[in-house]
Amino acid sequence: MDVTVKEREIQESGFSVIDSVFTDQEIEDILLAISRADTTKESFRKSDDLFAIRRFLKEVPDAIDLIFNKKLKSIKREIFGRDYFLVKSIYFDKPETSNWFVSYHQDLTISVDQKIEIPGFEPYIRKHDQFAVQPPLNILESNFTIRIHLDDTNEENGALKVIPNSHSKGIYRPETIDWSIEKEVSCNVSRGSIMIMKPLLLHSSSRTTNNQKRRVIHLEFSNQLLPKELQWSEYLDFE
């Protein structure tokens, strides 16, 4: 992996794909840990179109050491440094016959432990037993996401579609996209590979049309300290 190239891709385009971070056996071990989880808890969401586990690493702690293997730790360290910690983890399982899709959006909220009126942090939304809030822009600009793909993913089973460089334009409302200027790219990612993206990157996901699963582990990282009254809903320093 050419770290300089990946850093430049993330800085300029807002995303990058890195192949073969996990072996087939490592993926199978992660899936086995997921299969043993207690799906009756409130953090689990199950429907015909989507199965999701919020606060994934809290609910499936056996997956932590499997996910943070030497290769992933090295990638995070070489591209972003040592001061980033995990602040959100979600597992998404998009079934073979799923009609679930997500229109273009930016990831504008962070997950926190409570609702407190603090300048720059608004509005709040209650999600299950935690709160989501839109923080000051500098926090969103410094954060990044790693998506671990447990299946081959392309345009036919819900690969993310993104608009390169949209992360550099601040809050970019989807209804204002100028398609005469912007270009859509499908981020096809193979099983065991990862996609790194910035939260402000405009992205969407289409319905499944090829009868293939799309399972992804979504991990968000930050190096920002919140006001002392407010805590991240999740926190894991794996260095």
Instruction: CATH number of the domain at 179, please.
Output: 2.60.120.620
Q: Is residue 19 part of a domain?
A: yes
Q: Does any domain span residue 236?
A: no
Residue type at 2 in one-letter notation: D
235 domain-assigned: no
| Of 84, 132, 128, nearest in space to 107 by CA | 132
Q: Is 146 helix (H, G, I), strand (E, B) or coil?
A: strand
The predicted model scores a pTM of 0.94
Whether 89 contacts 219, CB under 8 Å? yes
CA end-to-end distance (rounded Å), the chain: 21
pLDDT at 169 over 80: yes
In a domain, 69, yes or no: yes
CA 1 → CA 21, 78, 79, distances in Å? 10, 10, 11
Residue 230 lies in a domain: no
Domains contained in the chain, number: 1
Position 48 pLDDT exceeds 70: no
Q: What is the mean pLDDT of residues 12-19?
A: 98
The CA distances from residue 37 to 13, 31, 130, in Å, are 36, 10, 20
Q: By residue range, what is the domain housing residue 135? A: 3-222
Query: Considering Cα of 102, then 108, then 111, then 113, what sign does the dihedral take?
Result: negative
Residue 233 lies in a domain: no
* Of the candidates 238, 236, 234, 239, the residue with the CA atom closest to the CA atom of residue 55: 234
In the block, residue with structure tokens 């009609």: 99
Kindly report the average pLDDT of the chain as a whole number.
93
Asked if residue 197 belongs to a domain, the reply is: yes
pLDDT of residue 5: 94
- Is 122 a domain residue? yes
